[in-house]
Amino acid sequence: MLEKVKVSAVKSVDYNLENLIPAVKKAILQSGGLPKHLNTLSRVLLKPNLLTAKSPSDSPTVTHPEFIRAVILVLKEQGVCNITVGDSPAGVHKWEDLWEKTGIADVARTENVNLIPFENFKFIYLDNLKIPVLKELDDFDVVISLPKLKTHLLTKTTGSVKNSYGLIIGHAKAHFHTLFPSPIKMSKFIGRLYAAHLKFDFAIMDAVECMQGDGPNAGYFYHAGVIFASSDSVALDSSASEVFGYLGEKIPLLKSAEKYGGGICELSQIERCGDGWDVVTSLNGKKSKAEILFKFPDRLFFIVSLITRTRPKVEHANCTLCSICEKACAQKAIYLKNRKINVKSSKCILCMCCIEACPKQTIKLRTSRFWTS
């Protein structure tokens, strides 16, 4: 009989290091331990989710800096000191602004770890696609994913597998939405890409404060109070999705990653370890509008989205006219007119990049009453 994949869930009520450090240690241990090839000489890349330049106290958009600090301290305790932290956000942000606002600059300063801007790239290939990913990936012996558990308008939930998409450099992330312009197509692409090229060595997930509603950026706080860990990111995401009432094997992104060898998402093949599962099974976070989008027939996705007037809408009162959304839109569907940001419906493919990139959470997905009631 095949050995099951271990996923641990351990309780941590808040981001106090006194709770976090023992919880991270326990989660790692109970999931079977850190990768065997990690040693004191290893060069380690920690890949949190730093989606946009936003403080974790305002919104649960980014991996919490104290969570990242706890992982660094646990690694250092094991003698692993060559640690680098980095991510590539959605949209165009100044690196210093991203690092300061997300709190990661303070962590890097005080814990003496490196910060890397994801700017240099090398190409990887999937079929006939050239995909620019972080060039320095080759310089690391171990890459550990530190995702934030959130709902997602396109992929239902986002965790470690989706976190790998941040290894793609800058604006290229938006470009692939043009080639795969529906939630199903994009989910299959990301799952396949993860399995083929971007598998993490290990993942520790921040699900202390999660995002419910229209994640990954326009949702709101949901306290789960759990940390997940696993050497299999697909199994980890599949298990953690239960926080929002999902069966992981019904999530196309994870199913695609599993199909192409990225990991296991069938719950029957996952062994649950740790003391946090009673909490996980009692949770019921609010899902995103992906529930509506996945009901649109895939081949007619654009037409149905247009007919139902399902489009991003800007709440002008809080808009600072920073233009980050405009730069994030590969379709050039966003424009400034009379000092207001507007969306041209006929050009929009509903990639959600503008919603993900807006640092003020002022772009929301709206749909007609026909679909919502």
Q: Which of 319, 342, 364, 367 binds ligand SF4 (CB under 6 A)?
A: 319
What is the Cα–Cα distance from 150 to 217, expressed in whole angstroms? 9
Does the protein bind ligand SF4 through residue 218 (CB under 6 A)? no
87 and 53 in contact (C-beta within 8 Å)? no
Listed residue (14, 47, 48, 90) closest to 361, CA to CA? 90
Strand bridging mode 270-273 / 220-230? unpaired
In a 10 Å sphere around its CB, with 0-12 CB exposed, 13-18 middle and 19+ buried, how is residue 95 labelled? middle
| Region of 195-203, 215-223, 252-260, 333-341 interacting with ligand SF4 (CB under 6 A) | 333-341
Does the protein bind ligand SF4 through residue 153 (CB under 6 A)? no
SS3 category, 133: strand
User: Residue 350 CB, nearest distance to ligand SF4 (Å)?
Assistant: 5
Does the protein bind ligand SF4 through residue 324 (CB under 6 A)? yes
Q: Which of 41, 126, 129, 321 binds ligand SF4 (CB under 6 A)?
A: 321
Does the protein bind ligand SF4 through residue 28 (CB under 6 A)? no
Q: Which of 284, 323, 368, 372 binds ligand SF4 (CB under 6 A)?
A: 323
Count of residues in the chain: 373
166 and 63 in contact (C-beta within 8 Å)? no
Q: Given phi > 0 = left and psi -120 to 50 = alpha, else beta, which region is 119? A: alpha
Does the protein bind ligand SF4 through residue 90 (CB under 6 A)? no
206 and 226 in contact (C-beta within 8 Å)? no
Q: Which of 320, 367, 369, 371 binds ligand SF4 (CB under 6 A)?
A: 320
User: Residue 171 CB, nearest distance to ligand SF4 (Å)?
Assistant: 11
| Region of 135-143, 204-212, 223-231, 325-333 interacting with ligand SF4 (CB under 6 A) | 325-333
User: Residue 225 CB, nearest distance to ligand SF4 (Å)?
Assistant: 31
Q: In this complex, which beta carbon is closest to ligand SF4, that of residue 234 or of residue 354?
A: 354
In a 10 Å sphere around its CB, with 0-12 CB exposed, 13-18 middle and 19+ buried, how is residue 4 labelled? middle
Contact string 334-363 vs ligand SF4 (x = CB under 6 A): x------x-x----xxxxxxx---x-x-xx
Residues 6+ apart with CB under 8 A from 4: 269, 270, 271
User: Residue 203 CB, nearest distance to ligand SF4 (Å)?
Assistant: 28
DSSP state of 168: B
Strand bridging mode 340-343 / 334-337? antiparallel
Does the protein bind ligand SF4 through residue 312 (CB under 6 A)? yes
Q: Contacts with ligand SF4 in 8-27 (CB under 6 A)? A: none
Q: In this complex, which beta carbon is closest to ligand SF4, that of residue 149 or of residue 333?
A: 333
| Region of 7-15, 66-74, 247-255, 311-319 interacting with ligand SF4 (CB under 6 A) | 311-319
Helix residue ranges, H only, 31-182: 65-77, 95-102, 104-111, 160-163, 172-179
Does the protein bind ligand SF4 through residue 133 (CB under 6 A)? no
Q: In this complex, which beta carbon is closest to ligand SF4, that of residue 30 or of residue 305?
A: 305
Helix (H) or strand (E) holding 335: strand 334-337
User: Residue 302 CB, nearest distance to ligand SF4 (Å)?
Assistant: 11
Does the protein bind ligand SF4 through residue 314 (CB under 6 A)? yes
Site size toward ligand SF4, by CB under 6 A: 27
Q: How far from 27 is each of 140, 162, 298, CA to CA, in Å? A: 23, 21, 39
Tokens 């199903």 map to which residue? 184
C-beta atoms surrounding 317 within 10 Å: 6
Contact string 254-293 vs ligand SF4 (x = CB under 6 A): ----------------------------------------
Does the protein bind ligand SF4 through residue 253 (CB under 6 A)? no
Using CB under 6 A as the criterion, which residues of the chain lie in contact with ligand SF4 when the complex forms? 312, 314, 319-325, 328-329, 331, 333-334, 341, 343, 348-354, 358, 360, 362-363
